[in-house]
A and B are shown apart, each in its own frame.
Chain A
Amino acid sequence: DVQMTQSPSYLAASPGESVSISCKASKSISNNLAWYQEKPGKANKLLIHSGSTLQSGTPSRFSGSGSGTDFTLTIRSLEFEDFAVYYCQQYNEYPYTFGAGTKLELK
């Protein structure tokens, strides 16, 4: 299975700041990577697919980059609603696998 390693596990920031989350695959996954947002009491939200393509409805302050094995999710000008847990997921080969998540906390 393709192992997905996310870092950091926890990240503290303030509204208005920018943050980046890393996701590394154990082998090349081309650009077949998605990012999800998880918030308590809400359904998970697909933010980005194909490494950098924003899903409809995702605010433009979110961006994704990378290909191959190294990927980054960047959130610019954090808003209160962005404090959540973020997961990466590869869909290049079965079984599809997820990173362990990054919890973005309010500083």
Chain B
Amino acid sequence: EIQLQESGPGLVKPSQSLSLTCSVTGYTITSGYDWSWIRKFPGNKMEWMGYISYSGSTNYNPSLKSRISITRDTSKNQFFLQLNSVTTEDTATYYCARGGQLFDYWGQGVMVTVSS
């Protein structure tokens, strides 16, 4: 069974970087598919943030392009999100998911609050 699990700090200070890990079991991230980060803001608005492909290429939402980086560690079957210069508006629940267009497996999400 394919499972994704997000992990990372639940509280980040403004202007700092937000770093999250998605650990994947049941499927090797280099075997295929794109691997995405998606977030849901308070009030339920959802935003696709970007993905890293099975080959390592990336594609980001233009609204985040200057602040976001998605990388991976193939030896650990993990991929990562880094979002720089966060503000309170980055407070959200962050999800990792399999897919770059359709998202057929999701993690349960991790809530991240940006606050001093």
A interface vs B, CB < 8 Å?
32, 34, 36, 41-46, 49, 55, 85, 87, 89, 91, 94-98, 100-101
Question: Residues of A contacting B108 with CB < 8 Å?
Answer: 41-43
B interface vs A, CB < 8 Å?
4, 43-48, 59, 61-63, 95, 97, 101-108
CB distance from A95 to the nearest CB of B (A): 4
A100 and B102 within 8 A (CB):
no
Give chain A's interface secondary structure class.
Answer: loop
Tell me whether A43 and B106 are in contact in the complex, defined as CB-CB below 8 angstroms, given that A95-B61, A95-B62, A95-B63 are known contacts. yes
Question: Which among A43, A46, A89 has the highest number of chain B CB atoms within 10 Å?
Answer: A43
Q: Which 5 A-B pairs have the closest CB atoms?
A: A98-B46, A91-B101, A44-B106, A43-B106, A95-B61
List 20 interface pairs A-B (beta carbons < 8 Å), by A numbering: A32-B101, A34-B102, A41-B108, A42-B108, A43-B105, A43-B107, A43-B108, A45-B106, A46-B102, A46-B103, A46-B104, A49-B102, A85-B44, A87-B46, A91-B101, A94-B61, A95-B63, A98-B47, A100-B45, A101-B46
CB distance from A100 to the nearest CB of B (A): 6
Question: Which among B59, B103, B107 has the highest number of chain A CB atoms within 10 Å?
Answer: B103
A96 and B44 within 8 A (CB):
no
User: How far apart are the CA atoms of A43 and B110 in the complex, in Å?
Assistant: 11
User: How far apart are the CA atoms of A85 and B109 in the complex, in Å?
Assistant: 15
Question: Residues of A contacting B63 with CB < 8 Å?
Answer: 95
User: How far apart are the CA atoms of A20 and B106 in the complex, in Å?
Assistant: 25
User: How far apart are the CA atoms of A64 and B62 in the complex, in Å?
Assistant: 30
B48 and A96 within 8 A (CB):
yes
User: How far apart are the CA atoms of A47 and B56 in the complex, in Å?
Assistant: 28
A97 and B102 within 8 A (CB):
no
A43 and B44 within 8 A (CB):
no
A100 is contacted by which of B44, B59, B61, B107 (Cβ under 8 Å)? B44
CB distance from B64 to the nearest CB of A (A): 9
